[in-house]
Structure 1
Amino acid sequence: MADPAEVDQEPFRTFGDPLHPSSDQLLSDAFPEMNSNQPDSAILPVQTKSKTALKKELRFQKRTERCKINRANEKLRRKEKLLASRKRMQAASTPEHPYVSRRVERRMARDKLTKALTEGVRLCVDMSFEELMSPKEIGQLASQICYMYSSNKKVEKPFCMHLTSLKQGTKLHEEVVKRCPGFDNYKIKVFEDPLEKVFQKEELVYMSPDSPNILERIDPSKVYVIGGLVDGTPKRQVSLSRAQALNCQSVRLPIAEHMKRSASHGNTILTLNQVYEILMRFNETNSWEQALDACVPRRKGFTVNGQADTPTAEEEDKTDVLQEETNRETITS
């Protein structure tokens, strides 16, 4: 029989006792991957890819490499094309028309527009007609503003462009910013105030097709105003009523005096950029015949007085039909 003193000295728990596991056993059971007796394959099982996945991965790698090669080749082709074009332009240059690179050309255009802000003839677009236009017409107006600025950069004597009543947060302002890339950097003057608060009424010359007065010359001391209105359905007397409300001078382009209508169909309304181009060309040439002939679209059905009438598409079709019938009768006889 064992001594009671020796029994009391034995530990109450022993290693490996299933009823009283040790801390190492608890960790081993909770995290089996920590058990060093298990093989590596049991710790990190190998994920094998299918043949289809491997083929897709291989095709993706080949396509990526091919795209890199194509991009490099395309970049080289563009560079060679640019160099060839530059050499042709340099060879064709003359002392009167020297070769100018695109970078220098852009810088010259910016300098001209900057100078025009202080010295150019003032041209203003009255943007106070937003309520009279549909969302589609507002978008078209924003595009025409972009066309006007693009044309203004290319002329020798650009106008000093102004936009009045263009308020931030409106649908019109959003469309202008959306459709005119880099609008915040445009070399133009933008005002949220209406036209009458920006200029004196004695300076204003409002362009209106309904005005009884004819624009005969461009006065550098005046501000020429174009109504910012796109009317899919013609709106009569709108710009003239605006000029009368401002108590300012109104004029119209001398189209009826220098051109004749050769076709009875077609829309005769001119867009903002077309009116601007007519004024710009007249400011350069001082000739209404040249300005109207160059800037009034042929589809409007107008020809300059003294020129032969340009046949319309419908008249050309009728001529072709008559010619075919004549040829058929000649063959039959």
Structure 2
Amino acid sequence: MKIFNKHLFNVVRRLCFPLAVQGGLKRRFFFMRPCTVVTCRTFALSPLLNKDSSSGSTEKLDLDGWKHVVRSVSQEQTSEKISENDGDSNLAATRDLIEMSRLLGKAVPEHISEEQFKILMECPTKTSKRKYLKFLTIKERIKRAQKEKKHEKQKQVEEEKKLKANENNNGEPKNTFLMRFWSKSEDTLFHWRAAQSMIFGQPLVFDMAYENCMSQREMENAVKQMVESEGVNRKAMDPFHFHYCNLKVDGPYHKVFLKRYGEAWDKLFVTVTEKSHVEVFPRDQLVYLTADSPNVMKTFEHDKIYIIGSLVDKSIQRGVSLAQAKRLNLATARLPLDNYLQWEEGAKNLTLDQMLQILMTLKDTGDWVKALQFVPKRKHAGFVVPAFYSKDHLETRKRMKVPDKTTGQEKASNQFARNFVARQTQRKWWEDES
């Protein structure tokens, strides 16, 4: 009887199990019977659950693996929630700090961009955040003052035009047969010259391999000077063909250029390359201009390619560009500042736009006196007139580094002191010996 009951139970179970699978595994189709606890951590699925599989194959699911996956997913979700909560709290704290600073009357800018706000959030302490806010306010005030000056200049120009127009009795500008030269036509003319310089112009290389030698502010100053140099070169009668060598894409220099120019960066008539200037030009034509070079530049050579190091350092690191030129085995030269200027104490380093204006004037005129007028007057006491001095006198002046007037006064005072001492010590002839 027991054997018959077991056989009947198995038959009913086989018949009802497919119906239970199709009907959603309802409880009424299951027949429970007491059984021993199984220690295995896997389920053996019937081939009816997998229609694509063969009748004799079974699939095994590892429960421990599934538990590990579920736990890792839950941990990631909790970590994301914690990071979001931290970010929200930091964001709220920075906003509260800005509002409180404004209410207390401290230095806070009126407009803050997204990049500036991200930098502000990354500041670790409140004092650093306040210092950064103060820096942004100073920067905003400078920009506002520059805009006001520009607006005042425009007003002055308009008033001058009105005064010139009132010179006639009718109150209209004077009639002339010359056509007016508009600003758009000027821009097209300058662009055309710059395009011609890329084919026929003399190359001028800016070495951009000094990213690691400068801070972020010094790099921004260097880019500002290069922007001014590009504007001056574009308006010249015979502009140079600029080459920005060693400029890495998405590097620090490239990011500052994109921030400065914006969409106009792709429209510049400038050759930009990641290659070194040694790979682009022949080595025998390159001349590296550096203030530390022992060789003095006498004349401007039109068949040479001059290199200017794009380095702006307030600490004045000596020998950096000279070491770069020696490492590449290049010829070096420096400007003859001592031969033409009464140079005072200090380094003979010039800005990038000043170097460009000096080279452009030398290229057009070949006159060192005209070219060195772009050197700031605060750095020297005036020009030396070679006709008034001999070679020996010039050499002594270079060694002493003292102007002629002071040396003459010193000589006269020394001679007067010697004569006075001699007269005091000289024995008078009418005095009797004691």
TM-score, structure 1 as length reference: 0.61
User: How much does 1:151 deviate?
Assistant: 0.7
Moved more, 230-239 or 266-275: 266-275
Q: Kindly tell me: are residues 233 and 216 of structure 1, through their superposed partners in 2, closer, same or farther at Cα, counting changes over 3 Å?
A: same
Q: Which one of the candidate residues 252, 260, 266 is aligned to 2:342?
A: 260
Between the aligned partners of 2:218 and 2:276, the Cα distance in structure 1 is 21
**What does residue 204 of structure 2 align with?**
123
SS of residue in 2 equivalent to 1:202:
helix
5 Å matches for 1:251-330?
Answer: 251-261=333-343, 263-264=344-345, 268-292=348-372, 294-306=373-385
SS of residue in 1 equivalent to 2:283:
coil
SS of residue in 2 equivalent to 1:163:
strand
Contact 1:143/1:180, CA 8 A, preserved across alignment: no
User: How much does 1:170 deviate?
Assistant: 0.9
Between the aligned partners of 2:244 and 2:176, the Cα distance in structure 1 is 38
Letter in 2 for 1:285: T
Q: Which one of the candidate residues 122, 132, 148 is aligned to 2:213?
A: 132
Structure 2 gap ranges (5+): 1-153, 166-172, 387-434
SS of residue in 2 equivalent to 1:277:
helix
Contact 1:129/1:229, CA 8 A, preserved across alignment: yes
Between the aligned partners of 2:207 and 2:337, the Cα distance in structure 1 is 22
Between the aligned partners of 1:276 and 1:150, the Cα distance in structure 2 is 11
**What does residue 148 of structure 2 align with?**
none
Contact 1:127/1:228, CA 8 A, preserved across alignment: yes
Q: Which one of the candidate residues 122, 142, 148 is aligned to 2:229?
A: 148
2:274 pairs with 1:192: yes
- Over the aligned positions, Cα root-mean-square deviation in angstroms equals 3.1
Letter in 1 for 2:374: C
**What does residue 328 of structure 2 align with?**
246
Between the aligned partners of 1:303 and 1:150, the Cα distance in structure 2 is 28
Letter in 2 for 1:260: Q
Please identify runs of 4+ aligned residues in structure 1 that moved more than 2 A: 90-95, 216-221, 266-269
Structure 1 gap ranges (5+): 1-76, 308-333
Q: Which one of the candidate residues 153, 178, 185 is aligned to 2:259?
A: 178
CA deviations 1:106-156 (Å, max 9, x no partner) are 111011111111111211000001011111111111111101101101211
Between the aligned partners of 2:186 and 2:294, the Cα distance in structure 1 is 42
2:289 pairs with 1:207: yes
Letter in 1 for 2:297: L
Q: Which one of the candidate residues 239, 246, 250 is aligned to 1:158?
A: 239
User: How much does 1:268 deviate?
Assistant: 4.1
SS of residue in 1 equivalent to 2:302:
coil
User: How much does 1:260 deviate?
Assistant: 0.8
**What does residue 111 of structure 1 align with?**
192
Q: Kindly tell me: are residues 109 and 131 of structure 1, through their superposed partners in 2, closer, same or farther at Cα, counting changes over 3 Å?
A: same
Between the aligned partners of 1:253 and 1:138, the Cα distance in structure 2 is 24
User: How much does 1:301 deviate?
Assistant: 2.7
Letter in 1 for 2:190: A
Question: If you compute each CA radius of gyration, which structure gives the higher value, 1 or 2?
Answer: 2
Between the aligned partners of 1:92 and 1:127, the Cα distance in structure 2 is 51
Letter in 2 for 1:197: E
CA deviations 1:39-66 (Å, max 9, x no partner) are xxxxxxxxxxxxxxxxxxxxxxxxxxxx
Q: Kindly tell me: are residues 171 and 81 of structure 1, through their superposed partners in 2, closer, same or farther at Cα, counting changes over 3 Å?
A: same
Contact 1:142/1:180, CA 8 A, preserved across alignment: no
Q: Kindly tell me: are residues 150 and 93 of structure 1, through their superposed partners in 2, closer, same or farther at Cα, counting changes over 3 Å?
A: farther
Contact 1:296/1:302, CA 8 A, preserved across alignment: no
Between the aligned partners of 2:336 and 2:185, the Cα distance in structure 1 is 38
Contact 1:145/1:176, CA 8 A, preserved across alignment: no
Q: Kindly tell me: are residues 94 and 211 of structure 1, through their superposed partners in 2, closer, same or farther at Cα, counting changes over 3 Å?
A: farther
TM-score, structure 2 as length reference: 0.48
User: How much does 1:93 deviate?
Assistant: 7.7
Between the aligned partners of 2:206 and 2:366, the Cα distance in structure 1 is 22
**What does residue 183 of structure 2 align with?**
102
Contact 2:291/2:348, CA 8 A, preserved across alignment: no
User: How much does 1:163 deviate?
Assistant: 0.3
